[in-house]
Copies of this chain bind each other. A is one copy, B any other.
Amino acid sequence: MRPADQLRDIEIQTGYLDSNPASVLYRCGRTIVLCTASIEARVPPWLEGKGKGWVTAEYNMLPGSTSPRKRRDRDGKVDGRTTEIQRLIGRSLRSVVDMKALGENMITVDCDVLQADGGTRTASITGGFIALAKAIAIAVPGSTVGNGPITDSVAAISVGLIDGEVKLDLDYVLDVAADVDMNVVMTGKGRFVEIQGTGEEATFDDAELAELLRLSKKGIAELTVKQMATIA
């Protein structure tokens, strides 16, 4: 059994698709997310003429990613969970992009979940950042993390409180068992971007919060090392 403070195995395959060089197949245990970043020489209408770019994200789970099969969102109503997740991914990625340095370009990061075993939103952020960095490196020659539009790296991890114990990187079984579920997004430099802690039918106190945050930081530091190794 995996220790409470240990990440699942991570495997990152870049350039997975010929059709999109900024494509990343990101595996975290049994969770598999295909992240692709597409750049267009335009911005949303409300940003036109301001000399700034934009980064947005879309998240989707394929029908075969879960058992039983997940129904497609085809009735024109993207469900609330999907909406929340893709807004979170977009905000997280934008927190490390200098929009003026990006110029009037728009990048869409698509995160399609091929297999879901917990942690799909944090995998989407961690893998999506790599796709984003690749897309920018191609579009803005000479740009690297910290030099050009990308001011820092960003990664995310989940932590949870299960029967009074705090655990890092919840897979599906742990996620279902958790009384409190928290997603933490941090930059490579160790600053918080987002903290979303939720106790559905449960609550938590100060000491538990402190331990949840401590484990998150440990996990994100390890993910950052892997991201940097991949991008370099």
Q: Footprint of B on A, CB under 8 Å?
A: 17-20, 23, 30, 32, 34, 36, 38, 40, 58, 60, 62-69, 72-78, 80, 83-84, 86-87, 91, 94-95, 99, 108, 110, 112, 114-117, 182, 187, 190-205, 209, 213
Contact = CB atoms under 8 A, between A and B. Distances in A.
Contact of A64 (B78, B110, B197, B209): B110
B203 A116 contact: no
Given A34-B114, A204-B192, A108 B199 contact: no
Nearest to A200: B91
Contacts of A108: 63, 69
Number of copies of this protein chain within its complex: 6
Contacts of A78: 74, 77
B200 A19 contact: no
Contacts of A193: 198-199, 203
Which of A23, A68, A80 has the most C-beta atoms of chain B within 10 angstroms of its own C-beta? A80
Q: Chain A at the B interface: mostly helix, strand, loop or mixed?
A: mixed
A199 B95 contact: yes
A63 B58 contact: yes
A68 B95 contact: no
B38 A201 contact: no
Nearest to A40: B68
A84 B95 contact: no
